[in-house]
Structure 1
Amino acid sequence: MKPVSLGPPYRRDALRRLAGTEFDVLVVGGGIVGAGAALDATSRGLSVALVEARDWASGTSSRSSKLVHGGLRYLEQRDFGLVREALRERALLLTRLAPHLVRPVPFLYPLRHRLWERCYVGAGVTLYDTMGGSRVMPRHRQLSRGAALREAPALRRDALVGAVQYYDAQVDDARYTMMVARTAAHYGACVATRTEVTGFLREGERVTGAAVLDTETGVEIPVRARRVVNATGVWTDGAGRMAQTRTPFSVRASKGVHLLVRRDRIPLNTGLICRTGKSVLFVIPWGRHWIIGTTDTPWEDGPDGPVAAPGDVGYLLDEVNALLRTPLTLDDVEGVYAGLRPLLSGETDDTTRLSREHTVAEPVPGLVVVTGGKFTTYRVMAQDAVDAAAGGLEEAVPPSATARLPILGAVGFEVLWNERRHLAEGSGLHVARVEHLLKRYGSCIPELLALIAQDPSLGEPLPGAPDYLCAEAVYAATHEGALTLEDVLARRLRVSMEERDGGLAAARHVAGLIGPVLGWDAADRTAELDRYVRYVQAERGEDAPAAGDPAALATPA
């Protein structure tokens, strides 16, 4: 069966299905948990709709630390069950579900005390290996100071007496979320972005669906469903108010800020992790950059548009500079992003513990709410939510199948990876470009190469964002459901956070590439460019220029 394309014809059909079908399950929220719930439900044979007010992963699920990990620090809290569960999920993602999107990364944990800390950390990492890491990852190793500095020459000699090196895994969070949603559509789910829930439909006390606004056209659609799953993360409390109900928990947002700096500014052969007074500091490889994070501070200003304050940036620079021989400055920071974690805040429960776990509740008949948790354990969260929803259906529903269900692009990935040199010869691309595409699209790569075969100019690097090919921008619109410049440059490609200008230099060219696919005229294109300028300015906490200001874009018309 050919993978489903989420391009414009699919969206038109999806909107008609939303209006004309009563679904078994309607999932609200297109983050990783909502996408996972849609896939879980449809793989059990249920009819499923998934609606998202903005874009796949446009909230928390595109702004994480990009890690798939067990949570080494949770061992210190003796939360062994959570760590074991996360390590099991990490192994599934690496070996079965998404080997094209999830890959191992080594991390160095600098030690500052000669004996007790080495024993303490070593025991923790040994347990980490034993609980699941050693089955799919290399085991940890103890390093002397000299060996650690050979792995991490950027570190000050007096910043460590030795180190422990262990492995975790990494993922492009936004891309993974979109691929889960696309996999759900592949198996029959009706999925649509820019579809905002404005209220819930009810029959007496029971929730029987939702009023959904197509924000592209302004048309409101009543979507009927036997069960509704609310997977809106930091927007959970707002959705509860919309349903005129109070859940047995509330969600408190915590802001996490990350910086991007060029790889050559921090000479390392490994990622880094160390504890700080307030959180955990990561230095994570990401293409031509390092991601430095994260903060963990309360956010009270509502779930929309978190931004990094100067103090957040200064804190991260201070913490990483305490380790580095050559300190970083503000000029080294090429990108910044901020996201919100949905932390559980119960009335009597220990919120420190709850914030690392997830919960599922049914506050009113017909409405299931799932929130909390972490990216790595999204599949378990989705399974628990669908289990709860299925319990309200009259007929028996099969158990979850997602532990055995590869994400789109996984099947055949290893074969194509082994054939990457032949793919390069046949396409005219450099083998490094083919490897880049395989790590992003897996066995869907023939669709990209077909676009390039039809128009060889699409095989050229994208002006203003040369890490990506022009074909990738087009594919985002034709196959991956991107409807705006922001969708393409912020989430299908990660240009907005990777380029110092936020992707402004690439925006005009991308608009020219995707405009014909999306039916834009000259006025639409100008409006899209204006909106993207405002998005970049808002992400940076800056005032936007006047509408239509040509100086806002780095490339001429």
Structure 2
Amino acid sequence: MKQHAAGFRFDVLVIGGGVTGAGIALDAVTRGMSVLLVEMQDFAEGTSSRSTKLIHGGLRYLKQMELKIVAETGRERKIVYENAPHVTEPERMLLPFYKGGTFGPLMTSAGLTVYDLLAGVEKDERRTMLSPEETLELEPLLKQDGLLGGGNYVEYRTDDARLTLETLKKAAEKGAVCLNYCKAERFVHEGGKIAGAVIRDGLDGTVFRADAEHIVNAAGPWVDEVRKMDGKGNNKHLKLSKGAHIVIDKSRFPLRQAIYFDGPDGRMLFAIPRGRKAYVGTTDTFYEGNPADVKASEEDIRYLLEAADWIFPGTRLQRGDVESAWAGVRPLIHQEGKDPSEISRKDEIWESDSGLLTIAGGKLTGYRKMAEHVVDRIADRSSGEKWGPCVTKHLPLSGGDFASPVDLPNFIEGKTNEAELYGLSREEGREIAAFYGTNADAVFKFAHAAGAGDGLSAADRGRILYSVHQEMAAVPADFLVRRSGWLFFDVEKARAVGPQAAAYMKRLLGPSAERRGGKEELRRLLGETAGRER
């Protein structure tokens, strides 16, 4: 693919393979533009695999009167769900309110009503107000002292890394060239205007030049670094905010219901059930270090455990209960004198004198709309070109080819029955169908062809083969963290098969899999699953 990238001129070069860059690539290519996307790490390795994994409108932004953000992201939730129901699903959220807390009964009722109206929520998903008894019936673990009731409303839970990958795969299906482990090292300028970039392959060290009519900086926490290469900019810059999360097995933390709650210091946090696990997050503190090295510190973990113990006092959670942890940074647009939680999550587009477009800020939920705004800008400034309209509002992502999300359960049941034809168990078939959606057949075929061996089941080998051949997994961490999620939500599985998966990937990929993801890297990853600092 890199030879093709080096030999052609593209309409659009996107720098950054997180969810924002992926959305831009998909929007642009479906309007008829030729697109190259480059990501210096793995796709979604930065912020886009380290969020709270919710597609939500941001209820707290009502308190800050950021109504436009609430309205736009609220409406986008349903669009993301309908385009990718295998990676996004409705999640009833419970907001308990306590005497002296941030939200009281009247504010909660009014806020959730406005939230539903701004977001255009359908009648059967609108908020309901609960008594203290009804609130505890939904979640018995909640603190009872001072409980006045709760508000129950709908948000959407997602797998952020999978959402990014499914967007990129759809863009590639439509003709975009998407490359991970390829870093734009410097820009090429012609006549004072940006005309291309020199790009280095991080796995084999080769260097190539890619020219483009329009270059978009969607590098998330690294957008300021990319702007420095341009040599021109404006007086705006990012302020990074760190968010950490911890994962606990339900045997120790039997959470039934997703909770949005007041922490002991007044910050709002989430506790979310996910399969056999539950996770708690997030912190919100300024971060000055390298975004590539961000991790959950012992202080972060202690803070989250104390918050969980405060709202769920009967659990008595301890440090040893934390099975895994992750942390990421939010690329916020700097606002002087504001704390991290007060800085707006709105997105902005900046254009330098040389023509470099930069997209900064924003939320996971609004990635598709942010991409639409960027590509509209490109279309407006394209002289003589007649690009098509944005079509991503009703465009299923890869794996999401369903007439309606309500078809997903029947699809999963059908694939469960088919799995035995490929030598898989019914449970393996169910898991694969639920995880990969309409791409399940491809995983089944890989699994059937590979069979079991070397400590890996046929299903595991099928997943690895699919990740390598269809999702550009290049090193073990790509598979264990972003393609499967095992390192966060199934640590036992990651530890049990991680070394075998790494060996299998090395056989498939050769030295490149060892170069950046060899035994030492795998040991480091597995050693950090509980958030322990290096």
Q: What's the TM-score once normalised by structure 2's chain length? A: 0.92
Q: How far did 1:58 drift?
A: 0.4
Q: How far apart are 1:541 and its partner, in Å? A: 5.0
In the other structure, the counterpart of 2:446 is 451
Q: Aligned with 2:328: secondary structure?
A: strand
Letter in 2 for 1:403: K
Q: Is the 8 A contact 2:297 2:533 kept in 1?
A: no
Asked if the contact 1:344–1:355 (Cα under 8 Å) also holds between the matched residues in 2, the reply is yes
What's 2:84 paired with?
Answer: 98
SS in 1 for 2:452: helix
- The one of 235, 248, 273 equivalent to 1:285 is 273
Of 364, 372, 388, the match for 1:398: 388
Counterpart CA distance in 1 for 2:343 and 2:212 is: 30
Q: Hey, what does 1:479 align to over in structure 2?
A: 470
The CA distance in 2 between the partners of 1:350 and 1:309, in whole Å, is 20
Q: CA deviation at 1:171?
A: 0.6
Q: Which residue does 1:241 correspond to in 2?
A: 228
Picking from 403, 410, 413, the partner of 1:418 is 410
Q: 2:366 aligns with which of 368, 377, 384?
A: 377
SS at the partner of 2:207? strand
Aligned CA distance change for structure 1 residues 479 and 16 (closer, same or farther; 3 Å):
same
**Separation in 1 of the partners of 2:306 and 2:427?**
35
For 1:478, give the aligned amino acid. Answer: H
Instruction: Give the deviation of 1:420 after TM superposition.
Output: 3.2
- Indicate the residue corresponding to 1:555 in structure 2: none
Distance 1:487 1:123 in 2: 44
Query: Are positions 1:532 and 2:534 aligned together?
Result: no
Q: What does residue 490 of structure 1 align with? A: 481
Distance between the aligned counterparts of 2:247 and 2:278, measured in 1?
A: 6
Q: Identify which range, 401-410 or 167-176, moves more after superposition.
A: 401-410
CA–CA distance in structure 2, aligned partners of residues 529 and 219 of structure 1 = 24
Match of 1:295 in 2: 283
The partner residue of 1:507 within 498, 513, 521 is: 498
Q: Secondary structure at the match of 2:293?
A: coil
Question: Which of 67, 71, 75 in structure 1 is aligned with 2:62?
Answer: 75
Map Cα deviations across residues 302-324 of structure 1 (whole Å, 9 max, x no partner).
Answer: 32211222111111111111121
Instruction: Give the counterpart letter for 1:473 in structure 2.
Output: I
Corresponding residue SS for 1:513: helix
Deviates more, 1:99-108 or 1:116-125: 116-125
CA distance in 2, matches of 1:299, 1:288: 31
Distance, in Å, in 1 between the alignment partners of 2:286 and 2:456 is: 38
Structure 1 counterpart of 2:249, one-letter code = R
**Per the alignment, in what secondary structure is the counterpart of residue 291 of structure 2?**
coil
Q: Which residue of 2 aligns with 1:167?
A: 154
* Aligned mates of 1:245, 1:347 — CA distance in 2: 22
The amino acid of 2:432's aligned partner reads: L
Cα distance change on mapping 1:419 and 1:256 into 2, 3 Å: closer
d(CA) in 2 for partners of 1:111, 1:347: 32
What is the CA-CA distance between 1:136 and the residue it aligns to?
A: 7.7
Distance 1:527 1:337 in 2: 19
Check conservation: 2:81, 2:89, Cα contact below 8 A: yes
Deviations 1:276-325 (A, max 9, x none): 33532100122221110010000011322112221111111111111212
TM superposition score normalised by structure 1: 0.88
394-403 vs 346-355, greater mean Cα deviation: 346-355
> Is the contact between residue 256 and residue 273 of structure 2 (CA under 8 Å) also seen in structure 1?
no
Query: What is the percent sequence identity of the aligned residues?
Result: 33
Q: Is 1:386 the equivalent of 2:372?
A: no
Q: Closer, same or farther in 2 for the Cα pair 1:70/1:191, shift >3 Å?
A: same
Q: Measured at CA, do residues 197 and 226 of structure 1 come closer, stay the same or move farther in structure 2, by a change above 3 Å?
A: same
- The counterpart of 2:436, out of the listed 441, 445, 451, is 441
**Residue type at the aligned position of 2:437:** G
- 3-state DSSP of counterpart to 2:381: coil
**Corresponding residue SS for 1:364:** coil
Going from structure 1 to structure 2, the CA distance change for 1:353 and 1:112 (only over 3 Å counts) comes to closer
- 1:427 and 1:49 mapped to 2: Cα distance? 37
Residue 386 and residue 72 in structure 1: after superposition, are their counterparts in 2 closer, same or farther (change >3 A)? same
Q: Using the alignment, how far apart are the partners of 2:413 and 2:289 within structure 1?
A: 51
Alpha-carbon spacing, 1:525–1:222, altered in 2? closer, same or farther (3 Å):
closer
What CA distance in whole angstroms lies between the structure 2 residues aligned with 1:264 and 1:314?
A: 20
| Counterparts in 2 of 1:462 and 1:76: CA distance versus 1, 3 Å | farther
For residues 374 and 419 of structure 1, do their structure 2 counterparts lie closer, same or farther at Cα, with a shift above 3 Å needed?
Answer: closer
- Alpha-carbon shift at residue 430 of structure 1 (Å): 4.8
Report how far residue 357 of structure 1 moved.
Answer: 0.1
The aligned amino acid for 2:242 is K
| Residue of 122, 133, 154 corresponding to 2:141 | 154
Residues in 1 aligned to 2:349 and 2:338: alpha-carbon distance in whole angstroms: 15
Q: Which moved more, 1:339-348 or 1:98-107?
A: 339-348
* Distance of 2:315 and 2:219 partners within structure 1: 42
Deviates more, 1:192-201 or 1:395-404: 395-404
TM alignment of 1:246-285, pairs within 5 A: 246-276=233-263, 277=265, 279-285=267-273
- Closer, same or farther: CA 314–401 of 1 in aligned 2, 3 Å: same
Distance 1:351 1:363 in 2: 27
Distance across 2 between alignment mates of 1:84 and 1:321: 33
The worse-fitting range, judged by mean Cα deviation, of 112-121 and 176-185 is 112-121
> 2-side partners of 1:172 and 1:405: how far apart?
19
Residue 498 of structure 1 deviates from its aligned partner by: 2.5
How big is each residue's C-alpha offset from its partner over 1:150-205, in whole Å with a ceiling of 9 and x where there is no partner? 21111232152321111100110011101111111000001111101100011031
Question: What residue is the counterpart of 2:204 in the other structure?
Answer: 217
Question: What residue number does 1:304 align with?
Answer: 292
Contact 1:159 1:322 in 2 (8 A): no
**Number of the residue aligned with 1:39:** 26
Task: Find the partner of 1:143 among 130, 137, 148.
Answer: 130
1:427 and 2:419 matched: yes
Q: Give yes or no for contact 1:345–1:351 (8 Å, CA) kept in 2.
A: no
Number of residue pairs matched by the alignment: 524
Deviations 1:472-504 (A, max 9, x none): 122111211100001011100112223447934
Match of 1:5 in 2: none
8 Å CA contact 1:485, 1:529 repeated in 2: no
Q: Which is worse superposed, 415-424 or 103-112?
A: 415-424
Change (3 A) 1:114 1:27: closer
Moved more, 67-76 or 160-169: 160-169
Contact preservation (8 Å) 1:140, 1:167:
yes
In structure 1, distance between residues paired with 2:108 and 2:170: 39
RMSD (CA atoms): 2.7
In structure 2, what is the Cα distance between the partners aligned to 1:51 and 1:358?
21
SS of equivalent residue, structure 1 residue 25: strand
Q: Per-residue displacement from partner, 1:448-475 (whole Å, max 9, x unpaired)?
A: 11123324428x9958xx9x84421221
Which stretches in structure 1 are left out of the alignment for 5+ residues? 1-13, 544-557
Query: Are 2:447 and 2:463, in contact at CA under 8 Å, matched by a contact in 1?
Result: no
Say yes or no: does 1:196 pair with 2:187. no
Aligned partners of 2:9 and 2:323: how far apart in 1?
48
Superposed displacement of residue 62, structure 1: 0.3
Return closer, same or farther for 1:354/1:25 CA change in 2, 3 Å cut-off.
farther
